[in-house]
Amino acid sequence: MKGELPSPNEIASIRSFYLLCTSPVRMLGRMSNDRDRVISITLSEQEWQAFVARQPQPVVWLLERIREEVKAQTQQSQSAA
């Protein structure tokens, strides 16, 4: 029902599902300040369809562009030093 808060039983179910889905090895194994980052972009359906038509793997494409930028910046910083 819209606008209703979940019951305590529903919250317990959600919490147990979340805990089952998170890997304790990963949570305990990575003892650093590094974090995964998430980018959220709002696109209309028309924009999304046009983009996917040109880039069938949009996540891979975006990740490659970001890594290219980071690599270029690192190389530029090294050559300036």
Q: Which residues contact 63 (CB under 8 A, 6 or more apart)?
A: none
- What ranges do the domains of the chain cover? 8-30+39-80
Range 36-45 burial, b when 16+ CB lie within 10 A, else e: eeeeeeeeee
In the structure encoding, which two tokens stand for residue 64, read together?
Answer: 């490659």
Q: pLDDT tens for residues 20-47?
A: 455 555 555 556 677 888 888 899 999 9
Position 51 confidence tier, pLDDT thresholds 50, 70, 90 = very high
